[in-house]
Chains A and B, each alone.
Chain A
Amino acid sequence: MEASRGNVQKAEQRAGMKKTEKTNKKRSKQDEEEEEEEDQLFNLNNKSLEEDEDLSDSEESVYSGLEDSGSDPDEEEEEGEDGGSDDDDEDEEDEQDQNEKSTVKKSKKKEGGDEEKEVKKEDEYDHDTSDEEDIRNTVGNIPMEWYKDFPHVGYDLDGKKIFKPIRNKDELDDFLDKMENPDYWKTVHDKKTASDIVLSEEQIELVNRLQKGQFGDVNFNEYEPTVEFFSNDVMIHPVTNRPADKRSFIPSLIEKEKVSKLVHAIKMGWIKPRRVQDDSRGRFYDLWANEDSSILAKHKMHLPAPKIPLPGHEESYNPPPEFMFTDEEKALWEQQDPSDRKLPFIPKKYPSLRQVPAFSRFIHERFERCLDLYLCPRQRKMRVNVNPEDLIPKLPKPKDLQPFPTTQALVYRGHSGLVRSISVSPSGQWLVSGSDDGSVRLWEVCSSRCLKTVQVGGAVKSVAWNPNPSLCLVAVTVDSAVLILSPALADKQVISASERLLSAQQEEGPSEGPQPVVWSEMEGEELNQGIRLKIQHPKPVHQVTWHSKGDYLASVMPDHSSHMQVFIHQLSRRRSQNPFRRNKGLVQAVSFHPIRPYFFVATQRSVRIYNLVKQEMTKKLQANSKWISSIAVHSGGDHVICGSYDCRLSWFDLDLSTKPYKMLRHHKKAVRSVAYHRGYPLFASASDDGSVIVCHGTVYNDLLQNPLIVPVKVLRGHVITHDLGVLDVTFHPTQPWVFSSGADATIRLFT
Chain B
Amino acid sequence: MGGIQKKKYERGSATNYITRNRARKKLMLSLPDFRRLCILKGIYPHEPKHKKKVNKGSTAPRTFYLLKDIRFLLHEPIVSKFREYKIFVRKLRRAYGKTEWSAVERLKENKPAYKLDHIVKERYPTFIDALRDIDDALCMCFLFSTFARTGKCHVQTIQLCRRLTVEWMNYVIASRALRKVFLSIKGIYYQAEVMGQLITWLVPYQFSHDHPTDVDYRVMATFTELYTTLLGFVNFRLYQSLNLVYPPKLDSKAESELKEVEEEDYAMNSESHTEKLSALSSSLARVVSSEEEEEAKLDQFPDEEEDMEKMEAREKEQKQLETQKKIFEGLKFFINREVPRESLAFVIRCFGGQVSWDKSVCIGSTYDVTDETITHQIVDRPNVDKQYMNRYYIQPQWVYDCVNTKMRLPVEDYFLGVTLPPHLSPFVEEKEGDYVPPEKLKIMALQRGEKPAQQQDEEEDEEEEEEEEEDENEEEEDDEEEAEEKNLKKMEEQRSQGKSLQVKVTPGKVKAENRARLEQEEKAEEKRLAIMMMKKKEKYLYDKIMFGKKRQVREANKLAAKRKAHDDAEKAKKKKARK
Contact = CB atoms under 8 A, between A and B. Distances in A.
Contact of B419 (A351, A376, A377): A351
Contacts of A307: 135, 200
A317 B38 CA distance: 37
Given A287-B120, A295-B125, A322-B560, A362 B184 contact: no
Interface string A372-399: 0111111100000010100111110110
B571 interface: no
Nearest to B147: A363
Contact of B496 (A321, A374, A397, A411): A411
B538 interface: yes
B510 to A, nearest CB: 19
Interface stretch (B231-239, B303-311, B450-458): B231-239
Interface in B114-144: 115, 117, 120-122, 124-127, 130, 132-133, 135-136, 139-140, 143
B44 interface: yes
Interface in A280-307: 280-282, 284-288, 291-293, 295-296, 299, 302, 304-305, 307
Nearest to A366: B143
Given A354-B381, A366-B143, A413-B496, A287 B121 contact: yes
B562 interface: yes
Interface in B31-56: 35, 38-39, 42-47
A377 B200 contact: no
Nearest to A270: B91
B542 A320 contact: no
B246 A363 contact: no
A426 interface: no
A313 B237 contact: no
Contact of A358 (B109, B115, B205, B530): B205
Contacts of A237: none
A377 B529 CA distance: 44
Contacts of B205: 356-359
A559 to B, nearest CB: 36
Interface stretch (A108-116, A163-171, A332-340, A707-715): A707-715
Contacts of A369: 136, 139
A352 interface: yes
Contacts of B237: 286-288
Contacts of B208: 358
B428 A313 contact: yes
A398 B424 contact: no
A358 B396 CA distance: 18
A304 B132 contact: yes
B344 to A, nearest CB: 10
A375 B212 contact: no
Contacts of A612: none
A414 to B, nearest CB: 8
B532 interface: yes
Most A CB contacts (10 A, CB to CB) among B186, B212, B545 go to B186
Contacts of A666: 532
B209 interface: yes
Interface in B173-194: 182-187, 189
B546 interface: yes
Given A360-B210, A370-B220, A291 B125 contact: yes
A581 to B, nearest CB: 40
Given A282-B232, A377-B47, A391-B541, A322 B562 contact: yes
A666 B539 CA distance: 12
A312 interface: yes
A321 B422 contact: yes
Given A287-B237, A315-B425, A322-B562, A392 B207 contact: no
Contact of B219 (A271, A280, A284, A371): A371
B563 A321 contact: yes
B338 interface: yes
B160 interface: yes
Interface residues of A, number: 86
Most B CB contacts (10 A, CB to CB) among A302, A323, A392 go to A392
Interface residues of B, number: 107
A308 interface: yes
A371 B246 CA distance: 33
A485 B244 CA distance: 108
A364 B528 CA distance: 50
A469 interface: no
A639 to B, nearest CB: 18
A664 B533 CA distance: 7
A285 B234 CA distance: 9
B566 interface: yes
A354 B39 contact: no
Contacts of A354: 338-339, 380-381
Contacts of A359: 185-187, 204-205
Given A275-B109, A354-B381, A712-B529, A311 B38 contact: no
Contact of A288 (B130, B428, B439, B529): B130
A311 B425 contact: yes
A176 interface: no
Contacts of B136: 305, 308, 369, 373
B313 interface: no
A253 interface: no
B579 to A, nearest CB: 24
A365 B186 contact: yes
Looking at chain A's contact residues, the main secondary structure is loop
Contact of B184 (A316, A376, A377, A413): A316
Contacts of A272: 110
A366 B227 CA distance: 13
A692 B132 CA distance: 60
B491 to A, nearest CB: 12
A308 B138 CA distance: 13
Contact of B220 (A275, A360, A366, A378): A366
Interface in B1-55: 35, 38-39, 42-47
A391 B534 contact: yes
A317 B185 CA distance: 5
Contacts of A216: none
A393 B380 contact: no
Most B CB contacts (10 A, CB to CB) among A293, A320, A350, A398 go to A320
A317 B559 contact: no
Given A281-B115, A287-B121, A388-B545, A318 B422 contact: yes
A417 interface: no
A714 to B, nearest CB: 7
A374 B38 contact: yes
Interface string A251-286: 000000000000000000001101100101110111
A284 B526 CA distance: 67
B380 A352 contact: yes
A285 B236 contact: yes
A308 B120 contact: no
B546 A388 contact: yes
B106 A271 contact: yes
B236 A313 contact: no
A353 B396 contact: yes
Nearest to B156: A282
A704 interface: no
B533 A320 contact: no
Given A286-B237, A353-B397, A369-B136, A364 B184 contact: no
B46 A377 contact: yes
A273 to B, nearest CB: 9
Contacts of B397: 318, 353
B562 A317 contact: no
9 contacts: A282-B160, A288-B121, A295-B122, A307-B135, A310-B427, A316-B183, A316-B422, A362-B204, A398-B526
Given A358-B204, A359-B186, 18 more contacts: A274-B109, A313-B424, A317-B184, A321-B563, A351-B419, A353-B380, A356-B205, A358-B208, A367-B216, A373-B223, A377-B45, A379-B46, A379-B47, A391-B541, A392-B527, A392-B542, A393-B534, A665-B536
Closest 9 CB pairs of A and B: A358-B207, A310-B427, A322-B563, A377-B47, A413-B496, A320-B422, A284-B232, A322-B562, A295-B125
